[in-house]
Structure 1
Amino acid sequence: MSELLTKIDWNTYADKALNGERLTKEEALSVLTADDEELLAIMHAAFRVRKHYFGKKVKLNLIINAKSGLCPEDCGYCSQSIVSTAPVKKYPLLEKDVLIDGARKAMEMQAGTYCIVASGKGPTPRELDQVIAAVEEIKSTMPMKICACLGILSQDQANRLKTAGVDRYNHNLNTSSGHFSSITKTHTYDDRVTTVESAKAAGMSPCSGCIVGMGESKEDVVDVAYALRELDADSIPVNFLNSIPGTPLESLKHLNPRYCLKVLALFRFICPDKEIRASGGREVNLRSLQPLALYAANSVFVGDYLTTEGQEATDDHRMIEDMGFEIELCAL
């Protein structure tokens, strides 16, 4: 197999992406199964596509864990779920002033998008009101794009968030439809698709991605990439499992940096003109190869994640500069 794959001209994949053609499933799988000796050629081809649509700009996003723990869902990867015994902080939705301070911190870190993330199946009426109040003040005082991630939404809730000024709504598919029930049983894959569609119908930009490394097959990775293309997600966070002790997936630690880079390249080929974000787990899985992610991804998170620490923002800024890229400042 490896000998056969070395004969692939990866630039033909870039050509197809630039021409709006979809890779076949066999072609998509060949990216993930390629010999590691092909990695630089794959990344070069992915960079052709990335550069065409985004130049050398890098979008920065910052997360605030607006409500921690206290979640009734059973997502196997999550330290905040009802089935997790991880010793994470547990607190209700943060007050409006704290959410606003988080937006100021995002600006200081040069993040163009501020992501308000709350645990739970979906927001209560009080929580929705609290987020809306914070969003309205942030939008009136700062040149900041806001992404909300509050769980499953009704259409009315989505409409209210849009009216308040939320630019983007995140609800990840996480994995393929075929693998989904192995990770979560308290809600369905279709529940997640419906929420993304509700956000789109309300006029918010859809953000939806995946988590790689949850015991899925390479075919599952390809399937979720195709699903996100069909969903027309504008922003696609590609997370790599950071297996946390106390979660059902705590023993899964089989990713390596080279495979993670191939995954990012695959998403660039399949969703060529979308914001591909190297997201949670990039530090522990990409390790010293993090800078190469920028050849496929045009976006990263800065600062910490929900319950795990991220790389220092100054280190991210330096990485971007050292690679000859530049931070894309928010332009509303």
Structure 2
Amino acid sequence: MNMIAAVPAWDAFAKKALDGEPLTVEEGLAVLEANDDELLPLMQAAFRVRKHYYGKKVKLNMIINAKSGLCPEDCGYCSQSIVSTAPVPKYTLLEKDTLLAGAREAMARKAGTYCIVAAGRGPTERELAQVVDAVKEIRATMPLKICACLGILKDGQAKRLAEAGVDRYNHNLNTSKANYPSITTTHTYDQRIETVEKVKMHGMSPCSGVIIGMGETNQEMIEMAYALRELDADSIPINFLNAIPGTPLEHAGRIPAMKALKVLALFRFICPAKEIRVAGGREVNLRSLQPLSLYAANSLFVGDYLTTAGQAITADHQIIEDMGFEIELNAR
């Protein structure tokens, strides 16, 4: 694809997305393998789709690491896993008052969604009861949407979370089905699909995304986008690997900033109406090109992540303002 042909080609991709047609594998590869000189027209085409569905609004989300460093799973990217030697905090599920304080901090940061995340295979009944209790009070006292990310859910647990008022449940696919065994062996890709389906069955909004940079090929990135389209995930966090020392993937390196932007454009074209969120690793991988991510994505995490630091809240607010976008506040 040469520079002269690039602009109408990207426009055609935008039109397909707006017409509800997914890109073909060949078209997806054209996005991911586009010459860097074509980046701006590519992002402009992605922006056409993003603007159609979300205007210039940006949703903000804040995470609280509600249980840290005690996970028996062997996920190669995670500093909290049993195979990690990274020096991360280790503590059991936070008390209710701490979870409530986190919700108030989310509001101070102008985040519309508060994400309660707990490391582990899945919640115990005691942990679930603690989360349910906190969620009920947050819903009664604050205009926040609540997302829970507690691992693999057992029968009945999704129902209890939904009844408590959890709006959204996050369970990422993380990588392609073929690449999954090289990243995690203590649970399967299909188990993750099953949890997302349970979430949908009980009326919570399904949130499921990926981590880019774990050895997947370009074709597998496209397969990941197709899988999330088929799963009908409402919110798709796009994480870019932050290779943490002490984890099996510590030497994986970083995704070049321009490649990361092409990935965001790809997911916007394939999942056009969905919330595309720039998530973990954006500061490390996108670096100075972070503002351009808003041409494809309509959602950001603000503040720190689970065990790694984010950038200052004022910097995120400034990016949104300088790019001419506007923070979306909850109507609840």
Structure 2 counterparts to residues 147-166 of structure 1, below 5 A: 147-166=147-166
Q: How far apart are the structure 2 equivalents of 1:6 and 1:138?
A: 49
Kept in 1, the 8 Å contact 2:54–2:298? The answer is yes
TM-score by length of 1: 0.98
Shift of 1:7: 7.6
User: Which residue does the alignment assign to 2:177?
Assistant: 177
The alignment status of 1:281 with 2:281, answered yes or no, reads: yes
Amino acid at match of 2:165: G
Q: 1:5·1:30 contact (CA, 8 Å) conserved in 2? A: no
Aligned to 1:312: 312
Does 2:48 correspond to 1:48? yes
Question: In structure 1, how many angstroms separate the alpha carbons of the residues matched to 2:90 and 2:79?
Answer: 11
Q: Is contact 1:155–1:199 with CA below 8 Å preserved after alignment?
A: no
Q: Is the 8 A contact 2:148 2:168 kept in 1?
A: yes
The one-letter code sitting in structure 1 at the alignment partner of 2:208 is: S
| Deviations 1:35-59, CA, capped at 9 Å, x for gaps | 1011001100000000000000000
How is 1:246-261 mapped onto 2 (pairs within 5 angstroms)?
Answer: 246-261=246-261
SS of 2:104's partner is helix
Does 2:328 match 1:328? yes
**How big is the shift at 1:95?**
0.2
Residue 38 of structure 2 corresponds to which residue in structure 1? 38
**1:115 aligns to 2:125 (yes or no):** no
Q: 1:18 to 1:126 in 2, by over 3 A?
A: same
Return the alpha-carbon distance in structure 2 between the equivalents of residues 311 and 45 of structure 1.
Answer: 28
> How does 1:48-87 map onto structure 2 within 5 Å?
48-87=48-87
The structure 1 segments of at least 4 consecutive aligned residues displaced by more than 3 Å after TM superposition are 1-8
Q: How has the CA–CA distance of structure 1 residues 74 and 2 changed in structure 2, closer, same or farther, with 3 Å as cutoff?
A: farther
The match for 2:217 is 217
Please name the residue that 2:98 is paired with.
Answer: 98
Alpha-carbon separation, structure 1, partners of 2:164 and 2:277: 25
Cα separation, 2, equivalents of 1:160 and 1:331: 24
* Equivalent residue, structure 2, for 1:145: 145
CA distance in 2, matches of 1:202, 1:318: 38
Provide the secondary structure at the position in 1 that maps to 2:251.
Answer: coil
Computed over aligned residues only, the root mean square deviation of the Cα atoms, in angstroms, reads 1.2
Distance 1:131 1:286, change over 3 A: same
Q: Extract unaligned runs of 5+ from structure 1.
A: none
Name 2:269's counterpart in structure 1: 269
Shift of 1:254: 4.0
SS at match of 1:9: helix
Aligned to 1:235: 235
Give deviations 1:250-290, integer Å, cap 9, x for gaps.
Answer: 00114100000000000000000000000000001000000
Contact 2:162 2:203 in 1 (8 A): yes
Post-superposition Cα deviations, 1:50-77, rounded to whole Å, max 9, x if no partner, equal 0000000000000000000110000000
Distance 1:125 1:248, change over 3 A: same
Distance in 2 separating the partners of 1:127 and 1:246: 28
Q: 1:6: how far off?
A: 4.3
Q: Compare 2-11 and 244-253 and name the one that shifted more.
A: 2-11
Deviations along 1:83-129, one digit per CA (max 9) or x if unpaired, are 00000000000000100100000000000000000000000000000
**Contact (CA 8 Å) 2:214, 2:241: kept in 1 or not?**
yes
- 1:168 alignment partner in structure 2: 168
Query: Normalising by structure 2, what TM-score?
Result: 0.98
In structure 2, relative to structure 1, the CA distance for the partners of 1:331 and 1:155 (3 Å cut) is: farther
Equivalent position SS for 1:251? coil
